[in-house]
A and B are shown apart, each in its own frame.
Chain A
Amino acid sequence: MNKTDIQIAICGSAGEGTIAAGDILRSALAGAGYRIIAFDAYPAEIRGFGKCVARLRVTTEQAYSLKEKSDVLVCLNDDHGIPHIGEVRDYGAVIYEEKSIVPLAEGAHVSAHILPGQVPYPVPIRELSERTTGAVRSRNMVVVGYIAGLFGLSREPFYKIVDAKFKNKGSVAVQNRKAFDAGYDLGAATFKLDDVQFGAPGEMFHATMLNGNAAVARGCLDAGIDTFFGYPITPATTIMEKLASEMPKRGKRLLQTEDEIAAIATTIGAGYTGARAATATSGPGLALMSEMLGLGVMAEVPSVVFVSQRGGPATGIPTKTEQADLNIALHGGHGDAPRIVIAPTNVDGCYRCAGKAFEMAERYQTPVIVLLDLYLSNRYETVALPAKSPFEADSDKPLAKQDLGAGYKRFAYTDDHVSPRALPGMAGGMHVVTGLEHNELGRVNEQPDVHEAMSRKRHEKLKAALSHPDFTVYKRFGDEGQVDVGILGWGSSFGECLEAMFLARREGIRCAALKVVMLSPFPVDAVTAFLDDCGAVLVPELNYQGQFAQLVQAETCRPVHRYNRVTGTPLRVEDIYAEVRRLALAATRKAA
């Protein structure tokens, strides 16, 4: 069986159906049994101006990131497509609109920029759309059909997706099928000159294709979320949208609040009642939530906050990705306010972290921040989710009858620093909850020894999260034992770290990668052990300051090499690899 590893990029203007074309393509190919990683880039404008790029990597083996070079580029728009021509590898295909309906100045057509090693495929996209549907809006379906025909893919998975997507829209599905078929027939009749080959998907990979935000929503649902409170913000909004369509069907409640402060306040309020409650926001929203998160810490109330980072500060670059909210997630707010911060590295991780966040919030009675970013929120992957929820329905520390009654100590000192929690209305569970420092009963108390003891309690109880059941706090990949270079990664960019590590190992560099999912509390021992195994350590991340590198150095007192980018786009595997290679060479020279 031939391995398939093909990346397709579709580039167009907002409103041209670029993202929809990518969606249909990836959904159909996932339905055909291929593995998919996909990521869409789109502008801040709603329609008519900015550039949209849908990229999908189609594989038969597990892949961890998008590739540097695409094998196929579709240009629905000359202006937007031209800057991306260089992304296509030699002998890859460039598919573009054959003719312009308006006169073009020299160099304004895609064909002027196709590189000598690339294969041009001019296609009468507009003409086929108009001929089959009477309108130009089906251009995107024509190119989807053309790709399917050119590469000999079956029509059936595409029909299935088109029918499902437009099932409630009258004749739209039929029109789209016609456009697809017109493109398909032309593609199939085209003499193929590129060397892009789809192998059979092989053994059917029974998977669901989700993006990070959808996986978060699915994790919330499987964990039995009771209430969700949110205020829309890119790129977190789709978490709320997904839950809004699913929670009412399950008798659960979702409320769009007036702002982020209300969202976190209601989330903490619901958590106080014993409900599994969550909110979702981005960096600006997290800044607004910081004060109230402190209340969650002080009052020891379970709550889950999903934070999808975007470029900042301030309004920043809201439709571009960045990993620059680590510091505010770890330390945002006033006072000693420890919280659990976990960061999934892929879509499957989004599902698991979402579900586990509720367990941790309950078990350790604290806010839990799940840190995503735009790249992960919008990244599609085929994932095999469990048929049955793997999450505990109730993670509260058992409350014994003798604990209740007069003198019930809601904040009792215990061996594990977690106090049995009574919920409102529970007989014998009456207690005080306040944002002020308090004693075991919850009564306001500012005595030095109480503040010290309570601070210790709030910090120490979280350490147990480092061994939370069935949760991957960190994981090492690659060579065992001593290595030339180690890559330490977190969040969405770990996939690129992993691919760079594979590349380095193929080139003979002893290399390992460690992903750190739990960022607070920090797995100091494991990370220190990893650093000690590495001749040099590289920490790639999407922020200017090197926020994770700062954390690692502060926690381990070991030096690391930073690799930081703030381009608004994901890290590039080749760039990370180049750094790894540089470090390996430097080590070799030093040894010589």
Chain B
Amino acid sequence: MSTPRHHVVIGSGVAGNQAAETLRQRDPESRVTMITVSKLPFFNRYDLPRVFRGERDWRKFVIYPAEYYLDNRIALRRATKVVNVDGARRTLTLEHNETVRFDTLLVASGASAYMPAELAEYQPLMHGFGAFRDAIAAADALPKDGHVILMGGDTIGLDLGRTLLDVGYRVTVIAEKHTFWPHEIKAEERPLYIEALAKMGFEVIDGHARGEIAAVRAGAPGLAPRRVVFHDGSEIHGDIVMPFFGVAPALDFMLGSGVDIERGLLVQPSLRTTNEAIYAAGDVCQIWSDADKRYHFYHGWKNVRAMGELAARNITGADEPWVPIQDESLQLSADGRIRSPFWEYA
């Protein structure tokens, strides 16, 4: 009797879960292990703004009940960090000193918030939004009718901003080059979208005109708790400051794996890396495009989920190329508001 194949998935987001489900369906006899640093099971990050509407129970965000994993024989390993992948030996090492052998590995570790190096030292004064606990901490720090400063203003931040405005908070966006990320906006169209933000209720400050952000500081007596200082010497005050400068692939543990990495893991249209046993899907990978001869990142719930499914199909014998399924263009609605396809999930 042969030993069942062991498919390991790193990451328990949209791509990882879709992949695990597909692996289970297409290879019923296999072992499927999903490893994540998160203490929580798969939850809807797109729904996190609801925390600011008062929803504080993480169970309300969870997509699959606990039984789902048991019924599908998906070993979900949470609070578990992969520190090294040995592509040649097909093993990975966990931070707590355990070694796991795999037959195939899908890296779907996603991305974490990108922080410009010049602002990294001020991170303790900012509130992140990458995890459930970050959202709770930000909501706790925000007084009723408080003032939120969104630095950068990528689509994740703007999505949160919509909720904050709706709930009654004051929201200032410090616009700079990451605003609207990952949408690529032509320079001449940019004012239209900035204007649209204002129409939606955002207060928009042109960070570039002020010489870019220089520092984030604690408020002084009589002032709001936080100050954002610009290189021109001006500053704005708010209750919390949240950075939204886009995301960076989470792949430190892959540096010694032997697979090619640029900014993300480089994969063929089949989502296979340079190691035949290792695939990647989601925000962590750049996919080769034969059309323009370069590697592309693809974002958004639908794209990422499709990547997870495709990777799992190809791992289990298919040979299908990646075809993006999500429109990535930022749109202006008839009433002058912006609408991003990256805000949609289903």
- Those of A97-120 within 8 Å (CB) of chain B: 98-109, 111-112, 114-117, 119-120
| Closest B residue, CB atoms, query A114 | B78
Q: Is the CB of B40 within 8 A of A193?
A: yes
Residues of chain B contacted by A99 (CB below 8 angstroms): 95-97
Inter-chain contact A90/B66, CB cutoff 8 Å: yes
Given A111-B96, A116-B66, 10 further pairs, Cβ under 8 A: A102-B97, A103-B97, A103-B99, A106-B99, A111-B78, A114-B77, A114-B79, A116-B69, A120-B78, A122-B96
What residues of chain B lie closer than 8 Å to A91, measured between beta carbons? 59
**A104 partner, pick from B70, B76, B77, B97, beta carbons under 8 A:** B97
Closest 6 CB pairs of A and B: A117-B66, A116-B66, A191-B133, A104-B98, A120-B79, A116-B69
Asked whether B94 is an interface residue with its Cβ less than 8 Å from the other chain, the reply is: yes
**Residues of chain B from 65 to 107 with CB closer than 8 A to chain A in the complex:** 65-70, 75-80, 94-101
- Give the distance in Å from the alpha carbon of A193 to the alpha carbon of B40 in the complex: 8
Please give, as numbers and ranges, the residues of chain A lying within 8 Å of B95 by CB-CB distance: 99
A91-B59, A106-B98 known; A116+B136 contact, CB < 8 A: no
Docked pose: A109 CA to B41 CA in angstroms: 19
Q: Which B138-160 residues have a C-beta within 8 angstroms of A?
A: none
A126 to chain B, nearest CB (A): 11
CA distance in complex: A121, B76 (Å): 15
Question: Is the C-beta of B46 less than 8 angstroms from some C-beta in chain A?
Answer: no
Q: How large is the interface on B (under 10, 10 to 19, 20 to 34, 35 or more residues)?
A: 20 to 34
Complex: A292 Cα to B41 Cα, angstroms: 65
Q: Given A112-B75, A114-B78, A122-B96, A193–B70 Cβ distance below 8 Å?
A: no
- Is B58 at the interface (CB under 8 A from chain A)? yes
Tell me the minimal C-beta distance from B98 to chain A in angstroms. 4
Of all chain A residues, the one with the shortest Cβ separation from B57 is: A195
**Nearest-CB distance from A195 to chain B (Å)?**
8
B98 near A115 with CB under 8 A, answer no
Q: With A and B bound together, what is the CA distance between A105 and B96 in angstroms?
A: 11
Pair B101/A106 contact, Cβ less than 8 Å: yes
CB–CB B41/A116 < 8 A: yes
Complex Cα gap A115–B77 (Å): 9
Q: Which residue of A lies closest to B91 (CB)?
A: A106
Residues of A within 8 A of B41 (CB): 116
Shortest CB-to-CB span from B23 to chain A, Å, is 17
CB distance from B105 to the nearest CB of A (A): 14
Do residues A111 and B58 form an inter-chain contact, with CB atoms below 8 A? no
Q: How far is the CA of A108 from the CA of B99 in the complex (A)?
A: 10
Given A116-B66, A117-B66, A120-B39, the answer on whether A111 and B77 have CB atoms closer than 8 Å is yes
A413 to chain B, nearest CB (A): 72
Chain A residues with Cβ below 8 Å from B68 are 116
Looking at chain A's contact residues, is the secondary structure mostly helix, strand, loop, or mixed?
loop
How far, in Å, is A96 (CB) from chain B's closest CB? 9
Could you mark each residue 68-111 of chain A with 1 if its beta carbon is under 8 Å from any beta carbon of chain B, else 0? Answer: 00000000000000000000001100000011111111111101
Given that A116-B69, A116-B76 are known contacts, is A193 also in contact with B96, CB under 8 Å in the complex?
no
Q: Considering the complex, which residues of chain B in the window 154-211 have a beta carbon less than 8 Å from any beta carbon of chain A? A: none
Chain A positions near chain B (C-beta within 8 angstroms): 90-91, 98-109, 111-112, 114-117, 119-122, 191, 193
Which residues of the partner chain B approach A191 to less than 8 Å between Cβ atoms?
133, 136
Q: A122 to B77, alpha carbons, bound, how many Å?
A: 12
Q: B97 to A100, Cβ gap below 8 A?
A: yes
**Whole-angstrom distance between the alpha carbons of A224 and B197 in the complex?**
86
Chain B residues in the interface with A (C-beta under 8 A): 39-41, 58-59, 65-70, 75-80, 94-101, 133, 136
Complex contacts, B67 vs chain A, CB 8 Å: 116
Of chain B, the residue at the smallest CB distance from A192 is: B133
Contacts of B99 in A (CB 8 A): 103-106
CA distance A191 to B140 in the complex (A): 13
Nearest residue (CB) in A for B134 is A191
Closest to B102 in A: A106
Measured between alpha carbons, how far is A3 from B76 in the docked complex, in Å? 33
Assuming the contacts A120-B39, A191-B133, asked whether A109 and B94 have C-beta atoms less than 8 A apart, the reply is: yes
Bound: A115/B76 CA distance, A? 8
Q: In the assembled complex, how far is the CB of residue A192 from the closest CB belonging to chain B, in whole angstroms?
A: 9
Which single member of A101, A105, A108, A122 contacts B79 (CB below 8 Å)?
A122
If the complex has contacts A116-B66, A120-B79, A122-B79, are A193 and B98 also in contact, measured as CB distance less than 8 A?
no
* B interface: dominant SS: mixed
A-B contact count (CB 8 A): 65
Query: Do A105 and B98 have beta carbons less than 8 Å apart?
Result: yes
* Separation of A112 and B67 alpha carbons in the complex (Å): 17
Is the Cβ of A108 less than 8 Å from the Cβ of B98? Answer: yes
Q: Is the CB of A98 within 8 A of B96?
A: yes
In angstroms, Cα B101 to Cα A102, docked, is: 17
Residues of A within 8 A of B40 (CB): 193
Q: Which residues of the partner chain B approach A112 to less than 8 Å between Cβ atoms?
A: 75, 77, 98
Q: How far is the CA of A261 from the CA of B136 in the complex (A)?
A: 68
Q: How far is the CA of A101 from the CA of B98 in the complex (A)?
A: 10
CA distance A159 to B59 in the complex (A): 35
Min CB distance B127 to A, Å, is: 14
Kindly list chain A residues whose C-beta atoms are within 8 Å of the C-beta of B100: 106
Cα of A22 to Cα of B133 in the assembled complex, Å: 30
Give B171 Cβ to nearest chain A Cβ, in Å: 25
Specify the chain B residue showing the minimal Cβ separation from A120.
Answer: B79
Which residues on B sit within 8 Å (CB–CB) of A122? Answer: 79, 96
Please name 24 pairs of A and B residues whose Cβ atoms are closer than 8 Å in the assembled complex, sorted by A.
A91-B59, A99-B96, A100-B96, A102-B97, A105-B99, A106-B99, A106-B101, A107-B98, A108-B98, A109-B94, A109-B96, A111-B80, A112-B77, A114-B77, A115-B66, A115-B70, A116-B67, A116-B68, A119-B39, A120-B78, A120-B79, A191-B133, A191-B136, A193-B40
Provide the residues of chain A in CB contact with B77, threshold 8 Å.
111-112, 114
Can you name the residue of chain B whose Cβ is closest to the Cβ of A102?
B97
B72 to chain A, nearest CB (A): 10
A90 to B41, CA, bound (A): 12
* CB of B103 to closest CB in A, whole Å: 13
Residues of B within 8 A of A114 (CB): 77-79
| Smallest beta-carbon distance A128→chain B, Å | 15
Q: A452–B77 Cα gap in the complex (Å)? A: 75
B130 to chain A, nearest CB (A): 13
CA A108 to CA B98, docked complex, whole Å: 7
| Complexed CA–CA distance, A120 and B35 (Å) | 13
CA distance A108 to B97 in the complex (A): 10
Shortest distance between the CB of B214 and any CB in chain A (Å): 31
Q: Which residues of B contact A193 (CB under 8 A)?
A: 39-40, 58
B316 to chain A, nearest CB (A): 22
Q: Which of A90, A98, A103, A122 has the most CB of B within 10 A?
A: A122
Instruction: Give A332 Cβ to nearest chain B Cβ, in Å.
Output: 50
Q: How far is A518 from B67 in the complex, measured between Cα atoms in Å?
A: 47
CB neighbours (8 Å) of B58 from chain A are: 193
Interface contact B66-A100, CB-CB below 8 Å: no
Residues of chain A within 8 A of B97, CB atoms compared: 99-104, 109
Residue of B nearest to A112 (CB): B77
Q: What residues on B are CB-neighbors of A105 within 8 Å?
A: 98-99
In Å, the complex CA distance between A120 and B136 comes to: 19
| A111 B79 Cβ-Cβ under 8 A | yes
Closest-CB distance, B308 to chain A (whole angstroms): 18
A111 — nearest CB in chain B belongs to which residue? B80
A78 to chain B, nearest CB (A): 10
Give the chain A neighbours of B59 by CB distance below 8 A.
Answer: 91
Q: How far is the CA of A104 from the CA of B97 in the complex (A)?
A: 6
Min CB–CB distance B139 → chain A (angstroms): 13
Which residues of the partner chain A approach B80 to less than 8 Å between Cβ atoms?
111
Residue of A nearest to B95 (CB): A99
- Give chain A residues whose Cβ lies under 8 Å from the Cβ of B101: 106
Central interface residue in A90, A109, A116, A191, by most chain B CB within 10 Å: A116
Which B-chain residue is minimally distant from A122 (CB atoms)? B79
Which A residues touch B78, using CB under 8 A?
A: 111, 114, 120
Instruction: Give the distance in Å from the alpha carbon of A573 to the alpha carbon of B268 in the complex.
Output: 57
Q: How far is the CA of A98 from the CA of B69 in the complex (A)?
A: 23
Task: Tell me the smallest distance from the CB of A72 to a CB of chain B, in Å.
Answer: 15
Q: How far is the CB of B231 from the nearest CB of chain A, in Å?
A: 35
Q: How far is the CA of A114 from the CA of B66 in the complex (A)?
A: 11
